[in-house]
Amino acid sequence: MSEIRVGLVGYGTAGQYFHAPLIHATPGLTLTAVVTRNPDRQAEVAGRYGAAGVAEVADLWERCDLVVVASPNRTHVATATAALTQGLPVVVDKPLARTAEEGRELVRLAKERGLLLTVFHNRRWDGDFRTVRQLAGEGRLGEVLRFESRFERWRPVPKGGWRESGGPEEVGGLLYDLGSHLVDQAVQLLGPVREVYCESDVRRAGVSADDDTFIALTHASGARSHLWASSMAARLGPRFRVLGSSAGFVKYGMDVQEERLRAGMTPDSPGFGDDEEDRWGVLGTENERQIVRTEPGTYLDFYRGVAAALLEGAAPPVDPGSAVDVLAIIEAARLSATQRIVVRLD
């Protein structure tokens, strides 16, 4: 197999702005079909990618070699299970599942059938996070003691939809949405988590799922992560503040790749992942400071990794077991917020 035919389930925000353009730009992958019942979206995928718009997930089985699940969160497990049962490898947008146990079942099924299963934790390839990992890896922070990370927005008027108005069965809210990214980055940087504390609130009228959430993690190393996800941040805090034994690093502004994908920029365009110079971070101490160029963001590396896994037998770009670990932390955070306790993980 020299070219992998990809079937995409869902053409909402995730499918339209992330998966479809990234798949289209990745050598070795061809977007051949997209599941959407919306006639306008069917026309768009046909015109933009030459892909067929189909109404049902079952319509993909004979059309593709890889299934990408970018439908609403509550459908992830059922759709991934159906694809794996059909003998097809699967990419699932985060969160992989509602619970860690559901995620483990998917991992077991993929392993039993010898199929690729990976999870779109694309924020591992954010330029600002790549910069933090590089600084930590080079020892320029010393021992990392505290990792502060924020996905904050000012959206006092709800946008509507299942992410805000759905109950637990929809797997909505910021804890599962932005929290999945925040927790995953913290674990990637600082390793396993031993204790979880969470405050999770609904601040806006007409919203049912959490829209203002704070998570505190204590890692096995003794380092701590403080993570914020909010739709009610009238003044934004730093995207990252990382405090080490030798220096700290502060960075404002979000990674540029989502903004550029939404604007229609193709992800293989020159400079696609380059941060603007006035948003570069600062490394140093109270008495010293150094501007640090942001590493380029590289979302394409995820799908390049998918192609390499299927065509060359490489490891998946995201081990699905690591996505299960994130779900276990999120479950602990929900319990902590509900019972107002610190939850210890084994």
pTM of the shown model: 0.95
In angstroms, the CA 196 to CA 334 distance is 10
DSSP letters for 57-97: GGGGTTT-SEEEE-S-GGGHHHHHHHHHHTT--EEEESSS-
Annotated domain spans of the chain:
4-120, 124-300+328-344
Burial class (CB in 10 A: 0-12, 13-18, 19+), 162: middle
Closest CA to 177 of 204, 147, 153: 153
Tell me the C-alpha to C-alpha distance, in Å, between residue 242 and each of 110, 197, 274, 333: 37, 19, 21, 22
- pLDDT attached to residue 69: 98
In angstroms, the CA 308 to CA 204 distance is 44
In angstroms, the CA 113 to CA 105 distance is 12
- pLDDT attached to residue 167: 67
Tell me the C-alpha to C-alpha distance, in Å, between residue 292 and each of 56, 225, 237, 278, 287: 48, 22, 19, 11, 16
Residue showing tokens 């609403």 = 72
Give, for all 346 residues of the chain, the pLDDT tens digit: 689 999 999 999 999 999 999 999 999 999 999 999 999 999 999 999 999 999 999 999 999 999 999 999 999 999 999 999 999 999 999 999 999 999 999 999 999 999 999 999 999 999 999 999 999 999 999 999 999 999 999 999 998 888 887 666 788 899 999 999 999 999 999 999 999 999 999 999 988 899 999 999 999 999 999 999 999 999 999 999 999 999 999 999 999 999 999 999 999 999 999 999 999 999 999 999 999 999 999 999 999 999 999 999 999 999 999 999 999 999 999 999 999 999 999 8
- pLDDT attached to residue 68: 98
Q: Is there a shared CATH topology between the 4-120 domain and the 124-300+328-344 domain?
A: no
Task: Kindly state which CATH superfamily the domain 124-300+328-344 is placed in.
Answer: Dihydrodipicolinate Reductase; domain 2 (3.30.360.10)
Answer whether CATH 3.40.50.720 is correct for domain 4-120.
Answer: yes
Closest CA to 174 of 214, 141, 121, 226: 214
In angstroms, the CA 29 to CA 93 distance is 17
